[in-house]
């Protein structure tokens, strides 16, 4: 797919036209490069500049802050939690990915879907669900008489709980990464080993694992970065018992001390970025080494077919998912059906008032719904368009810039949301030069941060689709004199539209329940669903917050289901749970 090598073989007319279209596509390329620069590069540069200014002008204070007991403790907590949750995510995600890839499970599609759904459930909702499940007033445990007696601390609060919930939450991430490696293990390798009489366990250990070792490493790094940056889980399970991580610390600093704390927050954010950045760079390096092309060979297919092995595995997986995904969500539903938190759920206390009245009567909640819909919808639409243009330009015109543009796009996505949010605050704290207006404290700053954060998500499927397009059709249209805009509209776009839509919808799914960015950027009237949930919890309205969490999660689940039922329309790998379980 290298354009340079093919160029000399092309007819004269194409070469001439190519040169002409380089100029013709120039405007689009400039726009695309400008967008990437403004959205993804400038905020990061601003963050680094601000932090280094603080380091230079107040070196002693900056060093004192970074080595203060509070920051050291938060750093240690962050590392422990990230490492612990990564270990758990690796075990769970790796096992699930292996089972789905090697075994002929009758319900593998449903299992993959449920597993990825647990990733798409917002982290703060997961945390709330587990907290509800395990405490003395747990509706589920009380129903079976297993609830701990009153006066027992909630086991989910503190380190163990954070690591457990985060590990389970990030397990699907690990599974998707390992799964994409497994799908590329050549079928021939496995068949050869089986012919040699290797047992399935031997095949996994001796053949498969060595082939996918880079994917495993990449999955570990991914889970680690996600763990370093996660905000919702330590906010709900750590802050109440005084366990702070770096992201929750930045949040608390800003929330309690306002703009005065922004420079301290910038320094701490840079520390977060540093920790996450090491892992990101390592993982990028690993990925660049993974050049063992296996395109021509057929990928691995499930080879463990004996019912004696697959049936127990299937039952075990369903049991495990019931306990770790279904039960917490069910207890959250139960919590939302009582008139006040702490009331035992039974037929007499059952009420839908949280759904019918309490939540709806509050303008704040209604506004949060409208806001989250608007922000995530706009981000999805804008990013769908931008990623289409960007993918086309990167593939056809800016191949020289590919190695620069793509990492820049990845940067804000790979870095924790807290870092992006702080970078945006720094960028927009003062009125914009020339224009003299400020978007600080408005909805625009949230939208901007969403665009920066999620561009990589929208771009991924589109880039994959564009780079597999044959050039013949466009070539023919070009010779017919069709301009670039017309070619993009009538030829390219229809061909890659499913990928564009899939990318946009993924952005919508992620942004709809997002909390980390909006927790730092919200202002009067720009509350998101995540912020509203945190606020209800804070105000002591447990039943209401449970109801809100359920409604928000239902929206995401419904959209995921809609995507799944129409998955034929989308290219393979555009939907993450399909990646875990390809056709």
Contact residues toward other proteins (CB under 8 A) are 68-70, 73-74, 135-137, 149-154, 157, 239-242, 244, 249, 254-260, 338-343, 349, 358, 361-365, 429, 438, 440-441, 523-525, 535-542
Q: Which is nearer to other proteins, 312 or 339 (CB)?
A: 339
| Residue among 37 and 540 whose Cβ is closer to other proteins | 540
Burial label for 230, CB within 10 Å (0-12, 13-18, 19+), is buried
**DSSP per residue, 226-276:** HHHH--HHHHHHTGGGT---HHHHHHHHHHHHGGGGHHHHHHHHHHHHHHH
Q: How far is the CB of 19 from other proteins (least distance, A)?
A: 50
Shorter beta-carbon distance to other proteins: residue 158 or 407: 158
Nearest distance from residue 149's CB to other proteins, in Å?
8
Q: Assign 547 to helix, strand or coil.
A: helix
CB 515 within 8 A of CB 123: yes
Q: What is the 3-state secondary structure (H, E, C) of 93-107?
A: HHHHHHHHHHECCCC
Contact in structure between 392 and 466 (CB atoms under 8 Å): yes
Which residues on neighbouring strands pair with residue 299, listed in sequence order?
186
CA angle 312, 316, 321 (to 5 degrees): 155
- Strand partners for 15: none
CB of 136 to other proteins, least distance (A): 3
Residue 521 CA to residue 523 CA, distance in Å, equals: 7
What is the H or E stretch that residue 569 is in?
A: none
If 0-12 CB within 10 Å is exposed, 13-18 middle and 19+ buried, where does residue 110 land?
middle
Q: How far is the CB of 169 from other proteins (least distance, A)?
A: 22
Round to whole Å and give the CA distance between 175 and 186: 19
CB of 539 to other proteins, least distance (A): 4
- Specify the residue, 9 or 524, whose C-beta has the smaller distance to other proteins: 524
Angle, vertex CA 179, rays to CA 226 and CA 197, nearest 5: 140
Min CB(151)–other proteins separation in Å: 5
Torsion angle of C-alpha atoms 324, 123, 36, 215, degrees rounded to 10: -30
Neighbours of 463 (CB within 10 A): 24
> Cβ closer to other proteins: 106 or 370?
370
Cβ 86 vs Cβ 283: under 8 Å: no
Length of the chain: 583
Of the candidates 423, 474, 468, 463, the residue with the CA atom closest to the CA atom of residue 445: 423
How far apart (Å, rounded) are the C-alpha atoms in residues 202 and 91? 18
Shortest spacing between CB 374 and other proteins, in angstroms = 16
Task: Compare residues 123 and 135 and give the one whose CB is closer to other proteins.
Answer: 135
**What is the DSSP track for 347-392?**
TTT---HIIIIIHHH-HHHHHHHHHHHHHHHHHHHHHHHHHHHHHH
Min CB(259)–other proteins separation in Å: 4
Neighbours of 377 (CB within 10 A): 15
Report the residue number, 279 or 519, with the smaller CB distance to other proteins. 519
Pick between residue 149 and residue 481 the one whose CB is nearest to other proteins: 149
Residue with Cβ nearer other proteins (81 or 209): 81
In the complex, what is the shortest distance from the CB of residue 93 to other proteins, in angstroms, rounded to a whole number? 30
Nearer to other proteins by C-beta: 80 or 495? 80
Q: State the Cα angle at 229 between 423 and 543, rounded to 5°.
A: 105
Q: Which residues contact 49 (CB under 8 A, 6 or more apart)?
A: none
Of residues 374 and 399, the one with the C-beta less far from other proteins: 374
Nearer to other proteins, 16 or 259 (CB): 259
Nearer to other proteins, 129 or 394 (CB): 129
Residues 6+ apart with CB under 8 A from 364: 527, 532, 535
CB of 345 to other proteins, least distance (A): 11
Whether the CA torsion 502, 506, 507, 509 is positive or negative: it is positive
Q: Cβ 326 to other proteins, closest distance in Å? A: 21
Q: Whose Cβ is closer to other proteins: residue 130's or residue 321's?
A: 130
Min CB(336)–other proteins separation in Å: 14
CB of 337 to other proteins, least distance (A): 13
CB of 547 to other proteins, least distance (A): 13
């Amino acid at each position: 797919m290298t354009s340079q090598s093919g160029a000399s073989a092309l007819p004269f007319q194409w070469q001439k036209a190519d040169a002409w279209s380089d100029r013709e596509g120039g405007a689009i390329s400039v726009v695309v490069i400008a967008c990437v620069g403004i959205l993804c590069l400038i905020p990061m540069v601003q963050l680094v500049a601000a932090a280094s200014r603080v380091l230079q002008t107040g070196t002693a204070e900056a060093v004192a802050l970074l080595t203060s007991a509070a920051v050291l403790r938060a750093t240690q907590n962050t590392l422990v939690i990230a490492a612990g949750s990564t270990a758990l995510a690796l075990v769970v995600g790796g096992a699930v990915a292996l089972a789905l890839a090697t075994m002929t499970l009758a319900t593998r599609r449903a299992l993959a879907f449920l597993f990825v759904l647990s990733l798409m459930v917002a982290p703060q909702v997961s945390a709330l669900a587990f907290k509800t499940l395990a405490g003395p007033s747990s509706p589920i445990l009380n129903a079976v008489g297993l609830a701990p007696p009153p006066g027992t601390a909630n086991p989910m609060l503190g380190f163990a709980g954070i690591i457990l919930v985060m590990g389970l939450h990030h397990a699907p991430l690990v599974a998707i990464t390992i799964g994409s490696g497994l799908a590329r293990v050549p079928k021939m390798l496995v068949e050869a080993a089986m012919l040699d009489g290797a047992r399935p366990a031997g095949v996994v250990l001796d053949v498969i694992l060595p082939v996918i070792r880079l994917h495993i490493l990449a999955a570990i790094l991914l889970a680690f970065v996600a763990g370093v940056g996660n905000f919702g889980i330590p906010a709900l399970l750590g802050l109440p018992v005084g366990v702070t991580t770096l992201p929750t610390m930045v949040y608390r600093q800003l929330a309690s001390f306002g703009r005065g704390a922004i420079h301290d927050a910038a320094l701490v954010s840079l520390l977060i970025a540093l920790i996450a950045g090491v892992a990101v760079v390592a993982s990028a390096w690993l990925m660049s080494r993974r050049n063992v092309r296996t395109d021509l060979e057929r990928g691995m297919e499930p080879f463990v077919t004996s019912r004696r092995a697959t049936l127990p595995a299937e039952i075990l997986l369903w049991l495990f998912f019931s306990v770790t995904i279904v039960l917490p969500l069910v207890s959250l539903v139960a919590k939302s059906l009582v008139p006040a938190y702490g009331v035992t759920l039974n037929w007499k206390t059952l009420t839908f008032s949280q759904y019918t009245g309490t939540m709806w009567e509050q303008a704040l909640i209604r506004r949060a719904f409208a806001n989250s819909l608007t922000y995530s919808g706009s981000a999805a639409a804008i990013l769908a368009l931008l990623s289409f243009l960007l993918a086309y330009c990167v593939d056809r015109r800016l191949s020289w810039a590919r190695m620069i543009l793509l990492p820049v796009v990845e940067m804000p996505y790979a870095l924790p949301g807290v870092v992006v949010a702080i970078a945006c605050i720094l960028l927009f704290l003062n009125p914009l030069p020339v224009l003299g207006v400020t978007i600080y404290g408005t909805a625009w700053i949230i939208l901007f941060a969403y665009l920066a954060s999620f561009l990589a998500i929208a771009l991924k499927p589109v880039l994959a689709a564009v780079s597999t397009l044959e050039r013949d059709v466009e070539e023919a249209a070009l010779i017919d004199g069709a301009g670039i805009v017309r070619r993009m509209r009538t030829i390219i776009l229809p061909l890659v539209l499913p990928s564009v839509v899939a990318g946009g919808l993924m952005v919508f799914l992620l942004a709809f329940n997002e909390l980390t960015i909006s927790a730092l950027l919200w202002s009067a009237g720009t509350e998101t669903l995540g912020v509203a949930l945190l606020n209800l919890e804070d105000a002591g309205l447990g039943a209401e917050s449970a109801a809100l969490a359920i409604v928000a999660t239902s929206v995401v689940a419904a959209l995921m289901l809609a995507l799944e039922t129409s998955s034929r329309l989308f290219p393979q790998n555009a939907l993450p749970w399909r990646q875990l379980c390809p056709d």
